[in-house]
Structure 1
C-alpha cells in the first residue's frame, strides 16, 4: 500500500478561481486513480487536514466545496480515501526522519520529503508548472556518523515519485504493483524475501537474528541500502572489474578495526568482512566481503557500528 503524501507547497498559489477549480478536479482524479491502482487502504497523508488548506490564494477548500454540486461530489470522492495527518503519524517512529531535511528551490518541504523518506508518492495541486511532472528533484541534507564517530551533514539530490494529473500515474504503475505484492515493511520480511529481492546478495545465518530485531526506524533505510548494493553487484563483471561500481558509499575498515569484522563464513572458515555500506539514522552499517567466483557479495552484519566488545 503506497502512501500518497500531499505537497503543501503546491497549495495557496495565486491564480484565478477557474484555474484553481480545474486544478482541483485534476488533483482529485489523479489521487483516486492512484488509489484504484493500489487497491483498498491507500491513505492520503498531509501535514494538516486538506479541508484547512487554500486551493489558491484566498480560495479555501470550504468555499470551493460550496460552489457547485460537482465540487461536493469531488470532495466526497477525495474523502473516500483514508486521511492521515501530520506526516510524522505514518513514520515508523515519530523521530525517524529527524536526521533528514528536504528542500525544493531552497524551501523546506514536508510532504515531498516524507514521500521520499517513506518510499511513497507525492501528490500536488497542478497550478504551478513545476508540479506538472511525474517526478520532482529535491535537495536532501542528511546527518551521518563517520567511522571516527564525528557527525557530518551531507547533501545530495534525490528524486521523489510524483503526480498531479492522471497521466503521471503511468510511470508508477509497475512500481505500485511490485510494492503491493511485496509488502516488505519489517526486518523479518526482508530476511524472508531476500532471495527474490536481492538475488546477487548472500547472507550469513547470523544476519537473520539481526533483521529479526531490527529497529523499525531502520527498515526503510536498510531496504534502500540493500537495493543499491543489489543493483551494483548485478551490474558487476568480476572478470573485468575488481569490485562493483557502488551506488552508495562503500569503504573498508582501517587496519586497527578489521579484527572486529571477522566472522565464520558459510564454509566454516573465519574471514574478514570489513567492507561496509552505511544507513541512517545513526551509525547503521552493512558489512560484507566480495565473492567474485560466485558473482555475489556475502553479508555478515546489518545493524549498528560494530564495537570491539561484540
Structure 2
C-alpha cells in the first residue's frame, strides 16, 4: 500500500486570517507533501473534504486563494496529488470498519480534549503520517497522543493510549523519513517469495527471464533483499505516480542514471520477446556493489522492464 498521509481536520484554520497567513499555510502544506513524495511518489493524501475546498481561514479555501491569483503553482500541484476524501474512504477501501474503533484526543490535550480525531487516528491505524496546519503550537508536536477505544475479544470496550506521527513543517518529514520508508518495506522473507509475489507487489514492473534466477537466489537475511525491495518498490511507485499524474518521464525517489557509453554493451539483454535491448538506466543497491538495470516503457503501457538485479556489470 502506498504511503498514507492524513490531513488533521482539527488543525484546519477556521478563524479570520490575513491573506498572507492563509497563503503561508497553503505553501507549507504543499512543501510537506512534496517532501513526503520523495519517500513515496505514489503517496495518497487523505482529507475530510476535497483539496479545493480545504479551509485556510474563515471564508478562505484553496480554491478561493487560487481564484484570486495567489499560489497558482501550488494549487496546480495539488491537482496532481492522489487525493482521497472523505477520510473514512481510507478505511472502506482497505476493508477496515472504522466504527469498530474510535480515536480521541486525550483529556489533557490543550485543544479539543476528548474529541474525535479522524485524521490523526487514521494516521495511527495505517502506520502513516498526519499532516497538520501550524494553526496552534499544539499542532507542531511531532507525536500527538490519542485515546483509542475498541472492543476486546469479549466485546468489552477498552481504552489504550497511542500516538500518531504528525508533521506541520519540513523538519518533521526529515525526522520520520526512515520510519516511513521502513513501513513500506515488504514482508517477503527471501527472493523466492519476492519472485512468486512480483505481480501482486510490483504490478508496474515486468521482469525479463534472466532476472528470475537473480531474484530467487537472494536468501533470507541477505542485506540485498531489503535494498532490492526498496528500489524495486520505488521504481514501481514512480511508475504508478507517472500513470496518475502524467508527464514525459517518471520521477524516481532516488538517483537513477544512464550507463556510460563505454559500458552500454554490458547492459544489453534479451527482453521478454527475445529482442536485444540496452538496459541503460540503473540505480545502486547500497552499500553493496549491486545494481538494478531497467528500461522505462510508455507504449503500450507505462511500465518498467527490469533487466538486471545483481553485481555491477563487468566486475564478475
Task: Name the TM tier (shorter chain).
Answer: 0.5 to 0.7
Is the 2:128–2:180 Cα contact (8 Å) retained in structure 1?
no
Alpha carbons of 1:15 and 1:4: their partners in 2 closer, same or farther (altered >3 Å)?
same
Instruction: Give the whole-Å Cα distance in 1 for the aligned partners of 2:80 and 2:164.
Output: 25
Q: Deviations over 1:85-134 (max 9, x none)?
A: 22232225555232110112211111111111111111112222111122
Say how many residue pairs are matched: 183
In structure 1, the partner of 2:150 is 142
SS at match of 2:25: helix
Q: Give the counterpart of 2:37 among 35, 38, 45.
A: 35
Instruction: Give the whole-Å Cα distance in 1 for the aligned partners of 2:13 and 2:177.
Output: 29
In structure 2, the partner of 1:119 is 127
Q: Report how far residue 66 of structure 1 moved.
A: 2.3
Alpha carbons of 1:79 and 1:164: their partners in 2 closer, same or farther (altered >3 Å)?
farther
SS at match of 1:137: strand
In structure 2, the partner of 1:253 is none
Alpha carbons of 1:80 and 1:93: their partners in 2 closer, same or farther (altered >3 Å)?
closer
SS at match of 2:133: coil
Instruction: Give the whole-Å Cα distance in 2 for the aligned partners of 1:183 and 1:31.
Output: 26
TM-score, normalisation: structure 1: 0.54
Instruction: Give the whole-Å Cα distance in 1 for the aligned partners of 2:89 and 2:64.
Output: 28
Q: Deviations over 1:27-52 (max 9, x none)?
A: 110111011222x2111011221212
SS at match of 2:56: strand
Instruction: Give the whole-Å Cα distance in 2 for the aligned partners of 1:78 and 1:126.
Output: 19
Q: Report how far residue 16 of structure 1 moved.
A: 1.9
Instruction: Give the whole-Å Cα distance in 2 for the aligned partners of 1:76 and 1:6.
Output: 18
Is the 1:13–1:128 Cα contact (8 Å) retained in structure 2?
no
Q: Deviations over 1:152-202 (max 9, x none)?
A: 111121110111111111211111222233267xxx99xx9xx76xxxxxx
Is the 1:87–1:110 Cα contact (8 Å) retained in structure 2?
yes
In structure 1, the partner of 2:232 is none
Which protein has the bigger strand share?
1
Q: Deviations over 1:53-75 (max 9, x none)?
A: 21112212221112335x01011
Instruction: Give the whole-Å Cα distance in 2 for the aligned partners of 1:152 and 1:181.
Output: 34
TM-score, normalisation: structure 2: 0.53
- CA-based RMSD of the aligned residues comes to 2.3
Q: Give the counterpart of 2:141 among 108, 126, 133.
A: 133
Q: Which runs of 5 or more structure 2 residues have no equivalent in the other structure? A: 106-112, 198-219, 222-316
SS at match of 2:175: helix
Q: Give the counterpart of 1:24 among 23, 26, 46.
A: 26
Instruction: Give the whole-Å Cα distance in 1 for the aligned partners of 2:187 and 2:170.
Output: 24
1:1-310 correspondence runs (5 A): 1-17=2-18, 18-38=20-40, 40-69=41-70, 71-91=71-91, 93-104=94-105, 105-146=113-154, 151-182=155-186
SS at match of 2:14: coil
Instruction: Give the whole-Å Cα distance in 1 for the aligned partners of 2:8 and 2:171.
Output: 18
SS at match of 2:38: helix
SS at match of 1:83: strand
SS at match of 2:22: helix
Is the 2:13–2:135 Cα contact (8 Å) retained in structure 1?
no
In structure 1, the partner of 2:266 is none
Instruction: Give the whole-Å Cα distance in 2 for the aligned partners of 1:56 and 1:168.
Output: 23
Is the 2:51–2:78 Cα contact (8 Å) retained in structure 1?
no
